[in-house]
Structure 1
Amino acid sequence: MTKYVCTYFGVGVFLEILELCAGYGGLGMAVAPLIGGRIAYVAESAPGPSAVLAERYPDAPNLGDIREIDWTQLVGKVDAITAGFPCQDISIAGSRVGIRGTRSGVWVNVLDGIRTVRPRIVFLENVSNLRTRGLEVVLRDLAEVGYSARWICIRATAASAPHLRDRWFCIATPEDSDREFGVQRRRSPTC
């Protein structure tokens, strides 16, 4: 079976991940094995998801409400940030007011974290409708804080999910990074 391995940071590099707008932890769970990282911190304020995160990542402090985090306390402690920031104001099923809405507007807090913490890599996720309700804002904001971004929309059926929802994914790295994105295919004898 072919296994895909991220070669972005090289072999033997272990990255500390901060998962913002964590929900139940799905994005971080997907990213950690790809980059050879571990969830070191989470930020989630809802009680149900917070309980799941505490069980799933007992050693990862929950920083709570993203709007109240003191980002300076995380400088030098985080290598990667993941964020599936709220989609309610962007989604076709929601209010459609866009990225500056009361819920999806926490994007500015995600951006504050990126600006202050300066992670080596950022992974973002949202609904595909972001393309018309805020993509230019996200890309401009990332560029203004010195990050280059690549994005793609993927249909859920591509991952064998039984629904047609499209998701938007973005990877961003500091513009002054000398790294190239790279995925290497290799045969895995154990899978």
Structure 2
Amino acid sequence: MNILSLFSGIGGLELGLERAGMTTVGQVEIDPYCQRVLAKHWPNVPRHNDVRTTVEWWESESRPHVNILCGGFPCQDISNAGARHGITGPKSSLWGAMAATIRDLRPDYVLIENVAALLVRGFDTVLADLHILGFNAEWSVLSACGMGAPHTRERLFVLAYPNDQRLQAIWPQRVRDDQALAVWREGHSEYVYAVAELGGGQGQSHWATEPPVDRMADGASPELDRRRLFALGNAVVPQVSEHIGRQIMASIQQVAS
């Protein structure tokens, strides 16, 4: 399963999908700091810096078919902490560039991440665009603490695929690990289940903490620390996308058998 990542940030979304058995074949990210992080951890993966010209860049060379296109388009105009202009705002309107990439590259699956407020500030546009492009969609709000993280961080995840296929029971997936809870919301109902096994039994004990020292004493300048925190704040918790990736892979195997 080849991954093309848009709005890659520091790569949290594709890192989790890779842990589920997929392979990153391309990344698109405009921020210079995040680009350096990506170059360090994915030195052999081709990168581009403008999501609006992704298709031209991708088709400029012989590249593999994209099985899953993933990305979290900017949330600044959607978030409750922002201006709340919605999906037509100056930043969040980049969803249009992602939709155009989906239209032209025709991936087998699309995984979209954004803040839960998208449900009331533009989700109808996302679903309508996916419908026009010939894609069905399923969605749910997942919590990072449901994967063992020491913080809530609820995010909306949308899984889309062509109308002629359907995955089996991705939302929700009943689970067995009683160490943490994941909140699933779909439509007007809310269900709480224990988090799925991620392979290796990750839990709260696996979340490293920062050393109790001043940042400069730890080797990071205030400016570098600011960029780092900004990148982390925009990142997807890899354990969440890993869980989704494993459910996708399991569903594909079920359909194949």
Report TM bin, short chain.
0.7 to 0.9
* Counterpart amino acid of residue 146 in structure 1: G
1:57-111 deviation digits (Å, cap 9, x = unpaired): 1111112110122356188621110111111000001111001111111100010
Is the 2:141–2:155 Cα contact (8 Å) retained in structure 1? yes
1:41 corresponding residue in structure 2:
26
Q: Deviations over 1:115-163 (max 9, x none)?
A: 1111011111000000100111111110110100000012332223333
TM-score (norm 1): 0.82
In the alignment, is residue 59 of structure 1 matched against residue 44 of structure 2? yes
Q: Mind listing any 5+ residue stretches in structure 1 that lack a counterpart?
A: 1-14
Q: Which protein has the bigger strand share? A: 1
**Aligned Cα root-mean-square deviation (Å):** 2.4
8 Å contact 2:65–2:107 — kept in the other structure?
no
Residues 176 and 23 of structure 1: CA distance in aligned 2, closer, same or farther (over 3 Å): same
Q: Which has the higher helix share?
A: 2
Aligned to 2:215: none
CA distance in structure 2 between the aligned counterparts of 1:190 and 1:18, rounded to whole angstroms? 26
Equivalent-residue separation in structure 2 for 1:75 and 1:90 (angstroms): 34
CA distance in 2, matches of 1:46, 1:138: 24
The equivalent of 1:3 in structure 2 is none
C-alpha separation in 2, matches of 1:189 and 1:104: 35
Higher mean C-alpha displacement, 159-168 vs 88-97:
159-168
Residue 36 of structure 2 corresponds to residue 18 of structure 1: no
8 Å contact 2:4–2:24 — kept in the other structure? Answer: yes
Match of 2:117 in 1: 129
Please give the alpha-carbon distance, in whole angstroms, between the structure 1 residues aligned to 2:198 and 2:133: 39
Partner of 1:12: none
Figure out how many residues of one structure are paired with residues of the other and give that number: 175
Q: Does residue 150 of structure 2 align to residue 165 of structure 1? A: no
Q: 1:127 to 1:17 in 2, by over 3 A?
A: same
Q: Would you say 1:29 and 2:34 are equivalent positions?
A: no
CA apart distance, 1:165 = 3.0
Q: How does 1:72-91 map to 2 (within 5 A)?
A: 73=59, 77-91=65-79
The answer to whether the 8 A contact 1:76-1:117 is kept is no
Mapped contact 1:75–1:117 kept (Cα < 8 A): no
TM-score for the superposition, normalised by structure 2: 0.62
Aligned counterpart, 2:194? none
Match of 1:96 among 46, 64, 84: 84
- Residue 234 of structure 2 corresponds to which residue in structure 1? none
Q: Structure 1 residue 32: deviation in Å?
A: 2.5
Percent identity of the aligned residues?
37
3-state SS, counterpart of residue 32 of structure 1 = helix
**Does the aligned pair in 2 maintain the 1:75–1:118 contact within 8 Å?**
no
1:174-185 matched pairs, under 5 angstroms:
174-177=162-165, 179-182=166-169
Which gives a bigger RCO, structure 1 or 2 (Cα 8 Å, sep 6+)?
A: 1
Q: 1:75–1:173: structure 2 CA closer, same or farther, 3 Å change rule?
A: farther
SS in 2 for 1:149: strand
